[in-house]
């Protein structure tokens, strides 16, 4: 490609990002991450929802362009590979089963946690314990369902005693995460908690400072917020999470009741 043509494409891309509110870019190896610092301006605080009786309203369809069955088929093949994985010796030895991920293979929105817990390890499904039930209520308060989104974790195996993933374990499993994202091609990722945010974005800021703004990961807009398990221990953190969800829904073009 001629240099002039490449420059024009780059200029067009930068103008597009600027219109989307991106104020600066940070180069990180091996990925590029750019923070959108201004996006949180004007977000109103509101009490987080505490029940699931929010009715579904008309909203932007969660199905994007390519075919659902193709993507499900590719995820199924990848899931078979993951189920036999023994890259992390301790995790492969102690897990009941791998927890690959669940939801719409063509989702616009992905929720990313850190690793399966005991309930997830037993059932093979992500976010099914108490924290998972709270996540379901948060999703439903956004007028969505678990079938609209995709839910997955940094690690596909439960760390013993629910300890945090080790860096080498996250490194081993990163290929699977990236492959899942490449198949699903979401527009948005919500990192649930510091472990997910730090691993995906290769940052180490406190989650309280990372939330409320968008980052870019491989062209996907990323929002970080508190983990539902943290909300169970600290209900005072619910309003900031609801602010984050309101911001996310606004960026996704999804209207919330009463807004
Ligand atoms: S955590 Fe990921 S890389 Fe490690 S054994 Fe499980 S599936 Fe393999």
In short, whether 156's Cβ falls inside 6 Å of ligand 1 is: yes
pLDDT at 190 over 60: yes
Mean pLDDT of 131-146: 98
In short, whether 158's Cβ falls inside 6 Å of ligand 1 is: no
pLDDT for the residue 257: 82
Taking only the tens place, the pLDDT of each residue in 213-229 is 999 999 999 999 999 99
pLDDT for the residue 67: 75
CA 193 to chain centre: 10
pLDDT for the residue 47: 33
Bridge-based pairing of strands 26-27 and 109-113 is: unpaired
Domain architecture of the chain: domains with CATH: 23-42+64-252 (3.40.470.10)
pLDDT for the residue 68: 82
Please list the helix, strand and coil fractions of the chain in percent, rounded to the nearest 5, in that order: 45, 15, 45
Other beta carbons less than 10 A from residue 253's beta carbon: 9
pLDDT at 120 over 60: yes
Q: How confident is the model at residue 30 (pLDDT cuts 50, 70, 90)?
A: very low
**Cα gap 144→57, rounded to integer Å:** 9
Q: What are phi and psi of 230, to 5 degrees?
A: -65, -35
In short, whether 172's Cβ falls inside 6 Å of ligand 1 is: yes
pLDDT for the residue 19: 46
Burial of 94 (0-12, 13-18, 19+ CB in 10 A): middle
Mean pLDDT of 21-46: 36
**Cα gap 113→116, rounded to integer Å:** 8
pTM score of the predicted model:
0.78
Give the residue from 213, 214, 156 showing the smallest Cα distance to 187. Answer: 214
In short, whether 174's Cβ falls inside 6 Å of ligand 1 is: no
pLDDT at 177 over 60: yes
pLDDT at 58 over 70: no
């Amino acid at each position: 490609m001629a240099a002039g043509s490449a420059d024009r494409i780059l200029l067009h891309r930068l103008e597009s990002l600027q219109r989307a509110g991106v104020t600066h870019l940070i180069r990180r190896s091996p990925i590029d991450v750019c923070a959108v610092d201004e996006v949180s301006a004007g977000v109103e605080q509101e009490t987080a929802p505490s029940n699931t009786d929010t009715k579904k309203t008309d909203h932007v369809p969660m199905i994007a362009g390519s075919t659902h069955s193709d993507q499900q088929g590719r995820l199924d093949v990848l899931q078979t590979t993951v189920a036999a994985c023994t890259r992390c010796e301790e995790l492969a030895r102690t897990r009941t089963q791998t927890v690959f991920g669940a939801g719409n293979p063509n989702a616009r929105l992905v929720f990313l946690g850190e690793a399966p817990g005991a309930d997830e390890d037993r059932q093979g499904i992500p976010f099914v314990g108490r924290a998972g039930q709270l996540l379901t209520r948060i999703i439903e308060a956004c007028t969505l369902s678990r079938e609209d989104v995709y839910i997955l974790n940094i690690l596909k195996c439960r760390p013993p005693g629910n300890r945090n993933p080790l860096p080498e374990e996250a490194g081993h499993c990163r290929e699977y995460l990236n492959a899942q994202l490449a198949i699903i091609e979401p527009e948005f990722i919500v990192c649930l908690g510091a472990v997910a945010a730090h691993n995906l974005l290769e940052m180490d800021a406190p989650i309280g400072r990372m939330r409320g703004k968008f980052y870019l990961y491989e062209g996907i807009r990323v929002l970080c917020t508190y983990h539902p398990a943290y909300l169970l221990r600290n209900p005072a953190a619910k309003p900031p999470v609801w602010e984050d969800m309101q911001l996310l829904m606004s960026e996704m073009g999804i209207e919330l009741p009463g807004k």
